[in-house]
Amino acid sequence: MSSAYNPRDWVSHPAYLHAPYKSTVLRSPTKPLIPMKQSLSVRTGPVYGHEKVGVLDSDLTRNGARNGEPLGERIIVTGRVLDEDGRPVRNTLVEVWQANAAGRYIHKVDQHNAPLDPNFFGGGRCVTDDEGRYTFKTIKPGAYPWGNHLNAWRPNHIHFSLLGPSISTRLVTQMYFPGDPLLNLDPIYQGTPENARERLISRFSLDVTQPDFALGYEFDIVLRGRNETPMED
Protein backbone atom coordinates (compact mmCIF):
# COMPACT_ATOMS: atom_id res chain seq x y z
CA MET A 1 0.00 0.00 0.00
CA SER A 2 1.15 3.52 -0.75
CA SER A 3 2.57 5.60 2.11
CA ALA A 4 0.21 8.44 1.06
CA TYR A 5 -3.58 8.31 0.97
CA ASN A 6 -6.26 10.09 -0.97
CA PRO A 7 -8.73 12.13 1.10
CA ARG A 8 -11.52 10.12 2.68
CA ASP A 9 -14.77 10.02 0.76
CA TRP A 10 -16.99 11.57 3.43
CA VAL A 11 -20.16 11.04 1.37
CA SER A 12 -19.82 7.37 2.35
CA HIS A 13 -19.87 8.04 6.09
CA PRO A 14 -22.53 9.08 8.60
CA ALA A 15 -22.68 12.73 9.60
CA TYR A 16 -21.28 13.54 13.03
CA LEU A 17 -24.71 14.90 13.94
CA HIS A 18 -27.74 12.78 13.06
CA ALA A 19 -30.63 13.99 15.24
CA PRO A 20 -32.62 10.70 15.27
CA TYR A 21 -29.52 9.05 16.81
CA LYS A 22 -29.78 11.00 20.05
CA SER A 23 -26.29 10.53 21.47
CA THR A 24 -24.77 12.27 18.42
CA VAL A 25 -26.52 15.48 19.51
CA LEU A 26 -24.41 15.44 22.66
CA ARG A 27 -21.07 14.28 21.23
CA SER A 28 -20.86 15.78 17.74
CA PRO A 29 -18.34 18.61 17.12
CA THR A 30 -19.72 22.12 17.49
CA LYS A 31 -16.99 23.77 15.41
CA PRO A 32 -15.54 23.00 11.95
CA LEU A 33 -12.88 20.30 11.90
CA ILE A 34 -9.29 21.30 11.20
CA PRO A 35 -7.55 19.23 8.48
CA MET A 36 -4.06 18.07 9.43
CA LYS A 37 -1.23 17.09 7.12
CA GLN A 38 -0.15 13.47 7.12
CA SER A 39 2.86 12.89 9.31
CA LEU A 40 5.12 9.87 9.68
CA SER A 41 3.15 8.76 12.74
CA VAL A 42 -0.08 8.87 10.72
CA ARG A 43 1.37 6.95 7.76
CA THR A 44 2.89 4.17 9.88
CA GLY A 45 1.86 1.89 12.70
CA PRO A 46 0.24 0.95 14.96
CA VAL A 47 2.36 -2.02 15.94
CA TYR A 48 0.99 -5.03 17.81
CA GLY A 49 2.29 -8.45 18.68
CA HIS A 50 1.11 -10.95 16.04
CA GLU A 51 2.25 -13.79 18.25
CA LYS A 52 -0.40 -12.78 20.80
CA VAL A 53 -3.24 -13.79 18.44
CA GLY A 54 -4.13 -17.31 19.52
CA VAL A 55 -5.64 -20.23 17.62
CA LEU A 56 -9.05 -19.91 19.30
CA ASP A 57 -9.24 -16.11 19.13
CA SER A 58 -11.22 -16.24 15.88
CA ASP A 59 -13.60 -18.98 17.06
CA LEU A 60 -16.20 -17.35 19.29
CA THR A 61 -18.03 -20.67 19.58
CA ARG A 62 -15.08 -22.01 21.59
CA ASN A 63 -12.99 -19.17 23.04
CA GLY A 64 -15.48 -18.47 25.84
CA ALA A 65 -16.57 -22.03 26.55
CA ARG A 66 -16.52 -23.13 30.18
CA ASN A 67 -18.73 -26.17 30.47
CA GLY A 68 -20.40 -26.56 27.08
CA GLU A 69 -21.24 -24.89 23.78
CA PRO A 70 -22.81 -21.44 23.47
CA LEU A 71 -26.51 -21.26 22.71
CA GLY A 72 -27.83 -19.93 19.41
CA GLU A 73 -27.42 -20.22 15.67
CA ARG A 74 -23.83 -20.88 14.63
CA ILE A 75 -22.54 -18.78 11.74
CA ILE A 76 -19.30 -18.24 9.83
CA VAL A 77 -18.37 -14.69 8.83
CA THR A 78 -15.58 -14.20 6.31
CA GLY A 79 -14.43 -11.59 3.84
CA ARG A 80 -11.50 -9.66 2.45
CA VAL A 81 -9.96 -6.44 3.72
CA LEU A 82 -9.03 -4.19 0.78
CA ASP A 83 -7.30 -0.85 0.33
CA GLU A 84 -8.62 2.09 -1.71
CA ASP A 85 -7.28 0.54 -4.93
CA GLY A 86 -8.89 -2.86 -4.31
CA ARG A 87 -5.67 -4.58 -3.24
CA PRO A 88 -5.67 -7.01 -0.31
CA VAL A 89 -4.53 -5.66 3.05
CA ARG A 90 -2.38 -8.48 4.38
CA ASN A 91 -1.34 -9.27 7.91
CA THR A 92 -3.65 -6.75 9.56
CA LEU A 93 -5.56 -7.16 12.80
CA VAL A 94 -9.36 -7.58 12.65
CA GLU A 95 -11.30 -7.52 15.93
CA VAL A 96 -15.00 -8.21 16.53
CA TRP A 97 -17.39 -7.93 19.46
CA GLN A 98 -21.10 -8.65 19.68
CA ALA A 99 -24.13 -9.52 21.79
CA ASN A 100 -25.03 -13.13 22.43
CA ALA A 101 -28.00 -14.92 20.87
CA ALA A 102 -30.37 -13.32 23.41
CA GLY A 103 -29.13 -9.81 22.63
CA ARG A 104 -26.95 -9.37 25.74
CA TYR A 105 -23.35 -8.13 26.05
CA ILE A 106 -20.99 -9.19 28.81
CA HIS A 107 -20.59 -5.67 30.16
CA LYS A 108 -21.65 -4.09 33.44
CA VAL A 109 -23.45 -1.30 31.59
CA ASP A 110 -25.67 -3.78 29.76
CA GLN A 111 -28.55 -4.50 32.14
CA HIS A 112 -30.96 -5.70 29.44
CA ASN A 113 -33.34 -8.29 30.90
CA ALA A 114 -31.98 -11.14 28.80
CA PRO A 115 -29.81 -14.09 29.87
CA LEU A 116 -26.04 -14.11 29.73
CA ASP A 117 -24.45 -17.17 28.15
CA PRO A 118 -21.72 -18.65 30.38
CA ASN A 119 -20.10 -20.23 27.32
CA PHE A 120 -20.01 -17.15 25.10
CA PHE A 121 -17.51 -14.33 25.58
CA GLY A 122 -18.62 -12.28 22.57
CA GLY A 123 -15.23 -11.10 21.33
CA GLY A 124 -12.56 -12.29 18.91
CA ARG A 125 -9.71 -11.32 16.61
CA CYS A 126 -7.61 -12.63 13.78
CA VAL A 127 -4.96 -11.53 11.29
CA THR A 128 -5.69 -11.35 7.54
CA ASP A 129 -3.88 -13.77 5.22
CA ASP A 130 -2.04 -13.01 1.97
CA GLU A 131 -5.37 -12.47 0.17
CA GLY A 132 -6.53 -10.06 2.86
CA ARG A 133 -9.04 -12.62 4.11
CA TYR A 134 -10.33 -13.00 7.65
CA THR A 135 -12.69 -15.67 9.07
CA PHE A 136 -14.67 -15.90 12.30
CA LYS A 137 -16.89 -18.64 13.69
CA THR A 138 -19.52 -17.26 16.04
CA ILE A 139 -23.16 -17.18 17.13
CA LYS A 140 -25.68 -14.97 15.34
CA PRO A 141 -26.28 -12.02 17.69
CA GLY A 142 -29.78 -11.18 18.88
CA ALA A 143 -31.58 -7.86 18.67
CA TYR A 144 -31.83 -5.77 21.84
CA PRO A 145 -33.56 -2.61 23.12
CA TRP A 146 -31.36 0.45 23.43
CA GLY A 147 -33.45 3.34 24.74
CA ASN A 148 -32.86 5.81 21.90
CA HIS A 149 -36.61 6.29 21.47
CA LEU A 150 -39.85 4.52 22.36
CA ASN A 151 -39.64 0.79 21.59
CA ALA A 152 -36.21 1.13 19.95
CA TRP A 153 -34.39 -2.10 19.04
CA ARG A 154 -30.99 -2.53 17.43
CA PRO A 155 -30.84 -4.88 14.41
CA ASN A 156 -28.69 -8.01 14.63
CA HIS A 157 -25.13 -6.78 14.13
CA ILE A 158 -21.44 -7.46 14.74
CA HIS A 159 -18.96 -4.70 15.54
CA PHE A 160 -15.68 -4.66 13.59
CA SER A 161 -12.45 -2.85 14.40
CA LEU A 162 -9.59 -2.77 11.89
CA LEU A 163 -6.19 -1.21 12.35
CA GLY A 164 -5.00 -1.42 8.75
CA PRO A 165 -1.39 -0.57 7.95
CA SER A 166 -1.57 2.93 9.50
CA ILE A 167 -3.65 5.26 11.66
CA SER A 168 -5.14 6.69 8.44
CA THR A 169 -6.79 3.35 7.69
CA ARG A 170 -8.25 2.85 11.19
CA LEU A 171 -11.86 1.77 10.84
CA VAL A 172 -14.62 0.87 13.29
CA THR A 173 -17.88 -0.26 11.73
CA GLN A 174 -20.87 -2.58 12.09
CA MET A 175 -21.95 -5.52 9.96
CA TYR A 176 -25.65 -6.26 9.52
CA PHE A 177 -27.56 -9.25 8.14
CA PRO A 178 -29.65 -9.38 4.96
CA GLY A 179 -33.42 -9.11 5.27
CA ASP A 180 -33.47 -7.72 8.82
CA PRO A 181 -36.77 -5.80 9.26
CA LEU A 182 -35.21 -3.56 11.94
CA LEU A 183 -32.80 -1.92 9.48
CA ASN A 184 -35.47 0.44 8.19
CA LEU A 185 -36.21 1.53 11.77
CA ASP A 186 -32.64 1.89 13.07
CA PRO A 187 -31.28 5.48 13.33
CA ILE A 188 -27.67 4.27 13.31
CA TYR A 189 -28.05 2.35 10.04
CA GLN A 190 -30.31 5.03 8.55
CA GLY A 191 -27.77 7.69 9.50
CA THR A 192 -25.39 6.21 6.91
CA PRO A 193 -25.72 7.86 3.46
CA GLU A 194 -28.21 5.91 1.37
CA ASN A 195 -25.69 5.21 -1.38
CA ALA A 196 -23.37 3.43 1.09
CA ARG A 197 -25.78 1.52 3.36
CA GLU A 198 -25.62 -1.72 1.40
CA ARG A 199 -21.88 -1.90 2.11
CA LEU A 200 -22.78 -2.59 5.75
CA ILE A 201 -24.92 -5.65 4.98
CA SER A 202 -23.32 -9.06 4.72
CA ARG A 203 -24.18 -11.53 1.95
CA PHE A 204 -25.44 -15.04 2.66
CA SER A 205 -23.13 -17.59 1.03
CA LEU A 206 -23.87 -21.27 0.54
CA ASP A 207 -20.20 -21.75 -0.40
CA VAL A 208 -19.14 -20.49 3.03
CA THR A 209 -21.87 -22.46 4.80
CA GLN A 210 -20.57 -25.66 6.41
CA PRO A 211 -22.94 -28.65 6.14
CA ASP A 212 -24.58 -29.64 9.42
CA PHE A 213 -22.65 -26.92 11.30
CA ALA A 214 -23.15 -23.24 10.42
CA LEU A 215 -24.58 -20.82 7.87
CA GLY A 216 -22.04 -18.64 6.06
CA TYR A 217 -21.91 -14.89 5.41
CA GLU A 218 -19.45 -12.77 3.44
CA PHE A 219 -18.55 -9.21 4.39
CA ASP A 220 -15.76 -7.41 2.52
CA ILE A 221 -14.27 -4.30 4.09
CA VAL A 222 -12.67 -1.45 2.12
CA LEU A 223 -10.55 0.83 4.28
CA ARG A 224 -10.50 3.95 2.10
CA GLY A 225 -11.54 5.31 -1.31
CA ARG A 226 -14.86 5.73 -3.12
CA ASN A 227 -16.00 2.22 -2.15
CA GLU A 228 -14.89 2.42 1.47
CA THR A 229 -16.92 0.78 4.18
CA PRO A 230 -18.83 3.41 6.21
CA MET A 231 -17.43 4.17 9.65
CA GLU A 232 -19.40 3.75 12.82
CA ASP A 233 -21.21 7.00 13.65
Please list the active-site residues.
105, 144, 154, 157, 159
Name the helix (H) or strand (E) containing 23: helix 23-27
Phi, psi of 63 (to 5 degrees): -75, -10
Q: Say whether the peptide bond before residue 46 is cis (omega within 30 degrees of 0).
A: yes
Measured CA to CA, the distance from residue 12 to residue 230 in angstroms comes to 6
Measured CA to CA, the distance from residue 115 to residue 139 in angstroms comes to 15
Count of C-beta atoms within a 10 Å radius of residue 138: 26
Torsion angle (degrees, nearest 10) of CA 220, 81, 59, 76: 20
Helix (H, G, I), strand (E, B) or coil at 199: helix
Sequence-distant (≥ 6) Cβ neighbours of residue 210 within 8 angstroms: 76, 216
